Structure 1
């Protein structure tokens, strides 16, 4: 099976539309359809069910989508890490969600820089859930992830911090007079919709809440009374005077971890992780 064929199939399987997949790949639709048909004949099983109105995955197609994504990520990882290994200057690329764990990150970078022989650390600030993909594809060597929101399967991890969550509400909202709230109250009594974050493909889920792209935009929308959000307790340190944080009793705890690929042989990554666990 060729990498090109896998890339074609994954595009169709994700879009569930040959026209959109062809546009995404930058090719015409007929050769894309022929390539998928050849792949199905070679594998001896249909991967897609096609009608005049829809395209759906078969059970075999679902398996190939999962395995194909992993295979394409592995190919990209091999290329990226090989290119980076050829550079003379040792460095570590750390991916973290923008505005998350800022205080912890600052302490980590300061402590690591004081270590003898510390490598240069490049920090990639990401949108929600992006740091996991950067780590899987080799564009980052290590990442700060947050359970239960980020998927840490397949990584080695060390837990750094576990904390509760708070509701961030506009100043003057009736719930800001409460010492604590519950999730059901945020849904039923707050009168504000939750924000909508972009999916990995850049599209937004349906819903009444505003579309948001970053933390600064989110806080401004909260202050304007257009939305509310739930965030880890440590977010309090970054809040403005026009928003208020109230602890959420039944929100799941958030565990911040430092994660790296188990195949890593980088001494710089090992030293950075060791520094993080000492903080």
Structure 2
């Protein structure tokens, strides 16, 4: 298969409409239809069921959509990493580190300062991203290394080193009747009166069902807590970021959160190895 054919198929499979897919790709619809038919003939399977009203994926089409996305991501990642390696060899870009905005607020500055003091350190660009985006940035080559948080982020297929494990606290408005407690249980947190837990985006960008507000980033989250619209479980190190009108109460039976430094397993970057060594030493 050619990457062009995969891009064509993924566009149709995501849009489930040949006209919209053609507009998205910037081509006419007839050659797009011919390319999909040619791909089906070559593979010997039907990828799409289509009639005058609808387009639907077959079982084989669903497999190719999943595998095709991964293959295209790998091609794009190879492109980005190769370009950045060339820039670094010419004295250009250094390392790109992805981390969740508002997370690892104590660890990150210590890591950057300690690494900058190393004799062979390169420039580190910090890419602050929204909730759940760090893993994708690392896998598609836009970042060389990332700070991820278990059990929320997936590290499958990545190399990692554990850096710190923390207990969680529940963050709620300071005026809430339970804000003065020495600790709370998960059962209490899940049933806080008038404070439904927020809904985080899933890997496909959608949100699970539930009464809590949809949350995209930490600044939005803190605003909603301050307004008395939600409460949230966060690692204990979040205390340094809380606003004066918020309280943090320990939740001993909540799952612990482990911060890891993660990178692609095939990386041979000396600069990346130096950053990882510094992180594990800290």
TM-score higher than 0.5 here? yes
Deviations 1:136-171 (A, max 9, x none): 122111111111111111111000011121111111
Q: Which runs of 4+ in 1 moved over 6 A?
A: none
Tell me the SS of whatever aligns to 1:257.
strand
Query: Which of residues 210, 227, 231 in structure 1 aligns to 2:230?
Result: 227
- Partner residue, 1:131: 134
- Partner residue, 1:68: 68
Superposed, 1:1-279 pairs within 5 Å as 1-18=1-18, 20-27=20-27, 29=29, 31-50=31-50, 55-87=55-87, 88-89=90-91, 91-198=94-201, 207-279=210-282
Please report the TM-score for the alignment, with normalisation by the length of structure 2.
0.89
Cα distance in 1 between the residues matched to 2:182 and 2:64: 50
- Are the counterparts in 1 of residues 194 and 229 from structure 2 also a CA contact under 8 Å? no
| Change beyond 3 A, Cα 1:270–1:57 | same
- Are the counterparts in 1 of residues 149 and 259 from structure 2 also a CA contact under 8 Å? yes
Q: Quick check: 228-237 or 265-274, which moved more?
A: 228-237
| Change beyond 3 A, Cα 1:208–1:30 | farther
Deviations 1:76-98 (A, max 9, x none): 11211221122212611111111
Q: Quick check: 156-165 or 177-186, which moved more?
A: 177-186
Q: Quick check: 185-194 or 244-253, which moved more?
A: 185-194
- Cα RMSD (Å) of the superposition? 2.4
Structure 2: runs of 5 or more not aligned: none
Structure 1: runs of 5 or more not aligned: none
Between the two proteins, the alignment pairs up a number of residues equal to: 279
